Amino acid sequence: MQAESLVGKPVDNWFVQLESSEAGLTEEQVRSKLAKYGSNELHVHKSKNPVILLLKEFMELFPLLLLGAAVLSFFADAKSPGEGYNLIAYALLGVVVLNALVSFIQKFKTERIMMSFLEYIPEKTTVERNGQKMVIDAKDIVPGDIVFFAVGDKLPSDLIILKSSEVLADESILTGESEPVSKIEFANVNHEAIKSGILYSGSSILKGDGKGIVINTGKRTAFGRIQHLAEGVKEELTPIRLQLKDFVKKITFLALAIGIVFFVIGFFLENSFWTNLIFAIGIIVANVPEGLLPTVTLALTQASQKMARRNAIVKDILSVETLGSTTVICTDKTGTLTQNKLTVRKAFLNMKEHSTDDIPGLQNNAASRPFLEVCRLCTSANSVLDKGTYKYVGDPTEVAILEFANKVGNIDHHSFTGLKEKAFSSSDKYMSICYRTEGGTRYTLFKGATEVILNMCSQIHLNGDVVNLDAETRKRLTTVHEGYENNGLRVLGLAYLSTDDEGEVWETEQKHNLVFVGFIGMIDPPRPEVKEAVDKCKRAGIKIIVISGDKAETVTAIAKELDIVDKPVVVSGKELKEMTEDKLNKTLQNKEIIFARTAPEQKLRVVSALKEMGEVVAVTGDGVNDAPALKKADIGVAMGGSGTDVAKEASNIILLDDNFATIVAAVEEGRAVFDNIKKFITYILTSNIPEILPFLAFVVFSIPLPMTVIQILSIDLITDILPAIGLGNEPPENDVMNRHPRKSSDKLVTWKMFLRSYAFIGPLEALFSFILFFMILHGGGWHPGVEPEPVLYMTATGAFLVAIIFSQIGNVFAMRTQRESALRKFAVRNNWIFLGILFELAFAVAIINIPYLHGFFSTGALPLRIWGLMLIFPAVLLFVEELRKLLVRRGAAFLEL
């Protein structure tokens, strides 16, 4: 229901429109409304069936490519049994299943974390039905119900206030504004201030109590409408998904192209159709990097685990890399850049300004005693015992002032006897408490909006005396107040009056004769670690845009203090609403931008515009109002501590510490992941050439087959895996956060990478292997056209296999860097790589020297001189790569990967 239709109408008319009464709903009405409106629930996160989660792992492009290769291998085995194609098929199936299980386990853990977050609507609430108060399940609330609320309650639905006592509500969950909102009875509102008479679902009561009548439940609440807006945002493929999709297309095209070419060549060699087809299938399957899929998954999973140790939970492991490509971070202010805790920053008394760190200066100020007395005694906050220590509870503003007063000095409140209190109200904007001192004087303290307090003062406490407040001093005080507000501070004025008269000062003309004692300026301070994170973003070429629901002065002050901006373009929600798309695009091209007082759909509009401009956008948020933008962004980052369930559901990553600095650490990890994926893809692709060429030489030149299917699988799934995982775990290179974000057009796998693997290093590895293969065959008396003796043949194929293994050792060291010399990396420990190399060497020694393994792997014992030659191969390969990188550093960009 729209509350606007009730404005200005009698309360009785409200009940008529809402089909209710002062005594609440009847049981029959409740049943009817439940049937009409449904339960008061929002299914923020729908539990995912584990079976469906697992099955989805088999539907990605890369697993489908491997499954296709497995089908071809089974077909080839059926037509040509005994050639080992069935082993390739089973190996491919095993890789797909293993990868699916690893990825599924990671996502299932995240799913369990998401289910543990769901605490949006309170379980129980107090209502009046049939004239009786009762506690019911919040999901059973319907429009027309009369709901009671008090301090600490979270509102279960949207309601208009029937009766209340000085209510303050925290609506930051919906609006992103950290400042509490004063609420009044709906009967007193007009169309311009209608929101002040409404309490919204999900908001919390900080002060006061009362009751209201429910106008909307479930998806019809403000909370539900924003969630619906988020659900309507279409999720787009992340950059890494697009890159992997591009890679699969390239590797498929390459494999098919090579297979078709040699299928045709076979006819020129007068082979039969089926012989050519089986051979083409073998070529295609050999081009598929079986070990790449689990390596990518493990690399991303391990990066996710690293980020978890840094307080970032990754819901989708592919999101890890996306962060690394981020060009713009759209961040809110409260709780992300700031501590989400109001703190006193400035105190102005006796016409002097003090920072809150200047304790001696404050204590020695001539006006410190009355100033601190107002701070300590004129308050609505209370102290409670919590785990053996006292802490303050109540309105965040009151708590901040009390903590400040106790930090500066100890005021003996026991020497004051409380008489009467006037609570803060949105109409007069001040509070007051009257005490009796030990001397019998009535001591009345005032605190409130600065302009209100100043207008009530005719005197000022100056240099220990009470003197008249003249026009010049009043003007100076107004200037100070305006300066504080322009710097983003929330400012309150403090005053007092001592009299011997009975009666309350605020009820007499005496309230215009107060003694002004000072200002107190508060702010939600920046997190101390954010400034360094901002500097890292700037060096990394990442633009930061602050989008907040707070007022422009506060947002700008925080952004300037953190060095996010210097002279920004500040756009209000009202200005943004009136902007055309062209104007918005031009505005977003400014180097420094701040958006203040923005609505949820406006944040979504900004993110959409940035994406259309080609930016890779990361968005932070915690409120329901952030959910649409979080979902639209390339990477949505929700706050785990203060964040709502809707925000967490819409995001890709959840920060457990709600800290902007954690985002920057995650960006660094993401950049390293992208670099590392390029490294191990290039590394794995390299061995494809020495695996393919033996089959080509076998068919074209009628030589003995230099490599068996089992040997190919032993490289792809045994010896290459650990070093590739090691490359995936390489720490970020020193300059990773000094580079500008890569362009959206930059590919994960480039043709230059294919050229390095297929036309440079791969052929070099094949050359080394063929040299050893023919050395052993000729040394054993083999001649072309003659079938070699079995032991001699197995020794030669074993040498071919081990030559590839040794060459890949040089290759993995070369791939540890992209531009810099890899020689420096010898001093940088990478346990996965060194463990992988040790395993490769142990595997090579075992299959060559253990007779029991000779038959399965088609190997034989090698002479010592062959081992000596193999030791040269990795050194030669590393030298060639070092020469290429040197030329790249000297300007030969065409040689860069």
pLDDT in tens, 30-79: 999 999 998 888 765 556 677 887 888 888 777 887 788 788 888 888 88
pLDDT tens, 206-232? 888 899 999 999 888 887 777 666 655
Taking the C-alpha atoms of residue 504 and residue 481, their distance in angstroms, rounded to an integer, is 28
Mean pLDDT is highest, among 86-90, 215-219, 349-353, 536-540, for 349-353
- DSSP annotation of 513 reads S
Give per-residue pLDDT as tens, 150-171: 888 888 899 999 998 878 888 8
Give pTM, 2 decimals: 0.71
Q: How confident is the model at residue 120 (pLDDT cuts 50, 70, 90)?
A: very low
Exactly one of 77, 332, 550, 716 is catalytic; name it: 332
Going by DSSP bridges, is the β-strand pair 543-547/593-596 parallel, antiparallel, or unpaired? parallel
Alpha helices (H) in 613-654, listed in sequence order: 627-632, 645-650
Question: CA-CA distance, 178 to 868, in Å (whole number)?
Answer: 71
pLDDT of residue 232: 57
Average pLDDT over residues 784-812: 95
The number of beta carbons lying within 10 Å of the beta carbon of residue 249 is 13
State the burial class of residue 589 (Cβ atoms within 10 Å of its Cβ: 0-12, 13-18, 19+). exposed
Q: Which helix (H) or strand (E) holds 571?
A: strand 569-572
Mean pLDDT for the chain overall: 85
**Helices 239-268 & 688-700, crossing angle to 10 degrees?**
10
On the question of pLDDT at 467 being above 80, the answer is yes
Condensed to tens digits (0 to 9), the pLDDT of residues 263-274 reads 888 787 777 787
Q: Does residue 350 surpass a pLDDT of 90?
A: yes
Give the rounded percent of residues in the chain with a pLDDT score beyond 70. Answer: 92
- The 10 Å Cβ neighbour count of residue 826 is 9
pLDDT tens digits, one per residue of 231-274: 555 555 566 667 777 777 777 787 788 888 878 887 877 777 87
Say whether 161 sits in a helix, a strand or coil: strand
Kindly indicate the confidence band of residue 642, based on its pLDDT and cuts at 50, 70 and 90.
low
Helical pair 790-814 and 762-779, crossing angle rounded to 10 deg: 150
Write the DSSP symbol of residue 539.
Answer: H
Spatial separation of the C-alpha atoms in residues 300 and 277, rounded to whole Å: 37
Predicted local confidence at residue 236, as pLDDT: 58
CA separation for the pair 874, 363 (Å, rounded): 73
Q: Does residue 571 surpass a pLDDT of 50?
A: yes
pLDDT digits (tens, 9 = 90+) for 872-892: 999 999 999 999 988 888 888
Q: What is the pLDDT of residue 805?
A: 97
Active site residue 622: no
3-state class (DSSP) for residue 156: coil
What 3-state DSSP class applies to 718?
helix
Three-state DSSP class for 219?
helix
Q: Which residues, other chains included, contact 661 with Cβ-Cβ below 8 Å and sequence gap of 6+?
A: 527, 529, 530, 532, 533
- How far apart, in whole angstroms, are the C-alpha atoms of residue 256 and residue 580? 49
* CA distances in angstroms from 85 to 347, 495, 664, listed in the order given: 81, 90, 48
* Rounded-to-integer distance, Cα 521 and Cα 537, Å: 30
